[in-house]
């Protein structure tokens, strides 16, 4: 029987309860001082539809309410318990490192969007290039002005903007008790930044800090 | 039934967009984040690039995110 993996944790005192996708009961597979939280699953991986993604997210959040976890990527179907045990063995060091690094923290997402969408330049190629360069250099300045957020987080990870209308998108790993300080700091920075709109979402389980080694 | 979870937004307009943003954020995290356990991941690498790059455009008109 295939299993769907939701998260990895260290065994603790809190018993595991509740249901996974398709209302299958959650259970733990213990091995190598770790536990994988799974539900039995028919062979095919779940389809990444909006509804099932949000349901998965709520399941992972419930699991994370009472324990530190490394969330698994959506659609992590494995060929039975033995495969999970082998995964726990082979990834043990990495999983323990991530658990240590993220325990007690949540992930917050910050996106900056230009207040006025950059106008497409229909003039000359040079004009277009100049506009793009100005935008890039301003994006770097915005990133600099948001540096105080880094001080409030254990670590952060930024990706290239998804399009020219965005200046940046970053994930911050923030201690639970500092979330309010973080949003307060964001509000202060926002008043100084005239040309961008900021949106912060969260708290999320530490998805963006689960795979790469902590910096 | 996307849960709105905007912690902060610059303006009313961006707050309204917040629901959309948090859906983009959930996709970014669940499909491109999380630990890869070497199972059969639904999405091929190409699809994840798609998710990263063209998400906003996809979301504007589609309910289903990616064809499963």
Residue B60: pLDDT band with limits 50, 70, 90: very low
- For chain A, the residue count is 215
The string of pLDDT tens digits covering residues A88-146 is 999 999 999 999 999 999 999 998 888 876 666 566 788 878 877 888 888 888 888 99
Distance between CA atoms of residues A199 and B28, nearest Å: 15
**Does A78 sit within 8 Å of B56, measured CB to CB?**
no
Q: Which pTM was predicted?
A: 0.84
Residue A79 has pLDDT above 60, yes or no: yes
Chain B residues with beta carbon closer than 8 angstroms to that of A36: 37
**Minimal Cα distance from A92: which residue of B?**
B37
Domain boundaries along the sequence of chain A: 2-102, 105-209
- Number of other CB atoms surrounding residue A63 within 10 Å: 21
The whole-angstrom distance between B23's CA and the closest CA on chain A is 8
ipTM: 0.85
**Does A196 sit within 8 Å of B31, measured CB to CB?**
no
State whether residue B16 sits within 8 Å of chain A by CB.
no
What integer pLDDT is reported at residue B63 of this predicted model?
39
For an interface test with B, the pick among A3, A165, A199 (most B C-beta atoms closer than 10 Å) comes out as A199
Summary mean pLDDT of chain A: 89
DSSP code string of A21-83: GGGPBPEEEEETTEEEEEEEE-SSPPP--HHHHHHHHHHHHHHHTSS-EEEBPTT-EESSHHH
Please give the distance of CA B17 from its chain centroid, rounded to a whole number: 13
Looking at the structure, give the CATH architecture of the domain made up of residues A105-209: 2-Layer Sandwich (3.30)
């Amino acid at each position: 029987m295939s299993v769907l993996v939701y998260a990895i944790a260290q065994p603790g005192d809190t018993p595991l309860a509740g249901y996974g996708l398709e209302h299958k009961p959650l259970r733990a597979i213990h091995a190598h001082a770790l536990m994988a939280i799974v539900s039995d699953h028919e062979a095919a991986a779940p389809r990444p539809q909006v509804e099932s993604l949000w349901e998965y997210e709520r399941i992972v959040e419930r699991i994370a309410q009472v324990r530190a976890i490394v969330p698994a990527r959506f659609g992590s179907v494995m060929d039975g318990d033995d495969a999970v045990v082998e995964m726990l063995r082979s990834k043990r060091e990495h999983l323990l490192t991530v658990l240590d690094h993220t325990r007690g923290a949540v992930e917050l997402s910050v996106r900056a969007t230009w207040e006025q969408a950059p106008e497409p330049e229909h003039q000359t190629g040079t004009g277009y290039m100049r506009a793009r360069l100005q935008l890039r250099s301003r994006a770097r300045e915005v990133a600099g002005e948001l540096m105080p957020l880094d001080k409030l987080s254990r670590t952060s990870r930024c990706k290239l903007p998804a399009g020219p209308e965005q200046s940046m998108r970053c994930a911050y790993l923030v201690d639970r008790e500092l979330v309010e300080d973080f949003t307060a700091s964001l509000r202060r920075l926002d008043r100084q930044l005239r040309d961008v709109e900021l949106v912060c979402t969260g708290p999320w389980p530490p998805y963006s800090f689960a795979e790469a080694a902590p910096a | 039934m996307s849960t709105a979870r905007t912690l902060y937004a610059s303006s009313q307009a961006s707050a309204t967009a917040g629901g959309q943003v948090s859906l983009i954020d959930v996709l970014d995290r669940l499909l491109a984040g999380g630990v890869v356990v070497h199972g059969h991941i639904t999405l091929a690498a190409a699809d994840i690039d798609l998710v990263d790059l063209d998400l906003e455009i996809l979301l504007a008109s589609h309910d289903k995110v990616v064809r499963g």
